[in-house]
């Protein structure tokens, strides 16, 4: 069997705005393997959420447009599927958790109401059976007093509880791939710890693949098997998690790791990456990182770097590597 559940090939996404064409993704290659948790890290505006939404074809068109590439899920190109087919895949085969759980739940219906609807939409069961499934689902995400939670409205739940409801809901149809877009960013650390624990427990037990999008390197180190680092609409490095943290090769990855303040050691000053993230309407030519890179040379300004395998399963896109 193919080890890659999802294979993204040469994906480009553009947004046509009044200011110009935003090249949000440019020639992205990435695969998610069966049963792995793949971390996708990058700073604001690097295109990581656009990538996630493209997989489910949730890019608003207009202004957005998937302008090239293929997204192969179990060998089928999602971009070529008719909408009806795509709708069947959403939720059943691939589901997604967003950052802000409040906006993913409808405020005027009870939690039970919304969960039952989803369950009955995907599985042909009676209302009573659906209720039972909901209670089971909530118990699995360790929600105390599941029955009572079902009778509540979203605003009566805390952020952590809402996110657990979302996890329960998204995993209810046993998808093969779960896309989690910054699911713990809006939560406090102690609640984040609970949610991460539940998420990894459930997906590991069911061998669900996860594409986990975050800007928090601590969360990546804690949770993921493999990591892809994005910068300005491109993947710059992918590696197994140990290799990425122990021997990062791309200057951007190194800069990012050095910029994180540590809980275990004292450093007088943090390393910082000079300059700012470039706008994607007119991104720098050649390697998109070159204006902020210490080691940038002539080829970096002119040519896009190709991928180099520097270790087992460890790929870097940088002219400085040979």
Kindly list the residues in this chain that would bind another protein in the complex (CB under 8 A): 43-44, 158, 160-161, 188-194, 196-197, 215-223, 241-242, 245-246, 255-264, 266-273, 276-277
- Decide whether 43 or 304 has the Cβ nearer to another protein: 43
- Decide whether 218 or 297 has the Cβ nearer to another protein: 218
Smallest distance, Å, CB 165 to another protein? 14
Q: Which residue has the tokens 């970096």?
A: 300
In whole angstroms, what is the distance from residue 278 CA to residue 291 CA? Answer: 9
Residue 242: which of 214, 267, 222 has the closest Cα? Answer: 222
Q: Which residue has the tokens 């079902």?
A: 150
Residue 43: which of 277, 237, 280 has the closest Cα? Answer: 277
Cα-trace Rg, the chain: 21
Q: Which residues contact 320 (CB under 8 A, 6 or more apart)?
A: 251, 295, 297, 300
> Could you give the C-alpha distances from 19 to 13, 22, 276, in angstroms and in order?
16, 8, 19
Smallest distance, Å, CB 274 to another protein? 8
Residues facing residue 181 across a β-bridge: 213
Smallest distance, Å, CB 214 to another protein? 10
Smallest distance, Å, CB 143 to another protein? 11
Name the DSSP letter for residue 292.
G
Smallest distance, Å, CB 125 to another protein? 32
In whole angstroms, what is the distance from residue 35 CA to residue 208 CA? Answer: 5
In whole angstroms, what is the distance from residue 185 CA to residue 270 CA? Answer: 22
Smallest distance, Å, CB 236 to another protein? 13
Helix (H) or strand (E) holding 76: strand 76-77
Contact 37, 9 (CB under 8 A): no
- Decide whether 7 or 288 has the Cβ nearer to another protein: 288
Smallest distance, Å, CB 51 to another protein? 17
- Decide whether 77 or 294 has the Cβ nearer to another protein: 294
Helix (H) or strand (E) holding 212: strand 209-214
Contact 238, 30 (CB under 8 A): yes
- Decide whether 194 or 208 has the Cβ nearer to another protein: 194
Smallest distance, Å, CB 149 to another protein? 13
Smallest distance, Å, CB 66 to another protein? 26
> Could you give the C-alpha distances from 122 to 174, 233, 319, in angstroms and in order?
11, 34, 48
- Decide whether 71 or 220 has the Cβ nearer to another protein: 220
- Decide whether 260 or 303 has the Cβ nearer to another protein: 260
- Decide whether 126 or 272 has the Cβ nearer to another protein: 272
Contact 228, 39 (CB under 8 A): yes
- Decide whether 101 or 255 has the Cβ nearer to another protein: 255
Q: Which residue has the tokens 């975050």?
A: 214
């Amino acid at each position: 069997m193919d080890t890659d559940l999802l294979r993204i090939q040469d994906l480009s996404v553009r947004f046509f705005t009044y200011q110009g064409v935003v090249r949000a993704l440019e020639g992205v290659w990435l695969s998610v393997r069966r049963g792995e948790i793949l971390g996708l890290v990058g700073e604001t505006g690097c295109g990581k959420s656009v990538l996630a939404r493209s997989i489910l074809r949730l890019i608003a068109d207009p202004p957005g447009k998937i302008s090239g590439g293929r997204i192969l899920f179990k060998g089928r190109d999602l971009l070529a599927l008719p909408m009806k087919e795509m709708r069947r895949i959403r939720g059943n085969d691939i589901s997604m958790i967003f950052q802000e759980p409040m906006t993913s739940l409808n405020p005027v219906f009870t939690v039970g109401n919304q969960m039952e609807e989803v369950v009955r939409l995907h599985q042909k069961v009676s209302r009573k059976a659906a209720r039972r499934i909901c209670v089971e689902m909530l118990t699995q995400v360790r929600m105390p007093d599941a029955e009572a939670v079902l009778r509540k409205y979203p605003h009566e739940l805390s952020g952590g509880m809402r996110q657990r409801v979302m996890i329960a809901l998204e995993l209810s149809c046993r998808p093969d791939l779960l896309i989690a877009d910054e699911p713990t960013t809006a939560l406090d650390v102690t609640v984040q710890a609970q949610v991460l624990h539940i998420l990894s427990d459930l997906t590991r037990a069911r061998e669900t693949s996860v594409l986990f999008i975050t800007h928090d390197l601590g969360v990546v180190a804690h949770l993921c098997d493999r990591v892809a680092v994005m910068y300005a609409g491109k993947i710059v490095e992918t590696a197994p998690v140990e290799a990425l943290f122990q021997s990062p090769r791309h200057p951007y990855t190194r800069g990012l790791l050095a910029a994180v303040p540590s809980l275990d050691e004292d450093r007088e000053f943090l390393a910082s990456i000079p300059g700012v993230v470039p706008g994607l309407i007119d991104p720098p030519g050649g390697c998109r990182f070159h204006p902020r890179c210490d080691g940038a040379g002539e080829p970096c300004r002119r040519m896009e770097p190709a991928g180099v395998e520097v270790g087992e399963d460890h790929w870097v896109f940088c002219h400085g590597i040979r």
